[in-house]
Structure 1
Amino acid sequence: MHEIPYPVRHREPRRSRNARPSAEGCELMKASAYNKQTAGPQTGKVKAAAEDSGIPVVAVTENLPQGEDHISWMSAQIHALKSALDR
């Protein structure tokens, strides 16, 4: 008998593309972050699923917003995430 050199993971059945995401089973999830500069339909569905489940949602950006310096921008994002994790 041959041993499998890597763990085999059970895959859940694929859901329909139109199925709404759910945060069900995400008891360990403390917050959800999304890039508001690239928000789209999929991002909106995941964001709504988190909000519906009572998971705090934090909007972040990957690019420095105009008129802000790097330190204040990063500090604000870190503060927003910390606030969400403290809820």
Structure 2
Amino acid sequence: MHGDHNNNKMERLNGEVRGREKVMLGLERVNTSILPGYQIYHNYMRLHEGIANLTPAEKCGIKVEGENKWVTLIQNAKREKDDQKDT
């Protein structure tokens, strides 16, 4: 093998998705909102030990405030969608 390859981050993500797939085998449709929802959870809500117990969003300087981050994200998305309609 040429050089060192470090694919730990990708393997970790694959492990998370595989574990989640096992739980959701009973889903009847493939095109659900579950994977995008999990991506939002992973990037905006789940704390990661590898980046000092921050979310990836926080590490990038994106702060989601409020007691319930899901509600905050949904409200912000709706506000953004409404603003786009007005322009």
Does TM, normalized by the shorter one, top 0.5?
Answer: no
* TM-score of the two chains, using structure 1 as the length reference: 0.28
* TM-score of the two chains, using structure 2 as the length reference: 0.28
Normalized per residue, the structure richer in strand is 1
**Based on CA coordinates, which of the two structures has the bigger radius of gyration?**
1
Q: Which structure ranks higher in relative contact order (CA pairs < 8 Å, sequence separation ≥ 6)?
A: 1
Normalized per residue, the structure richer in helix is 2
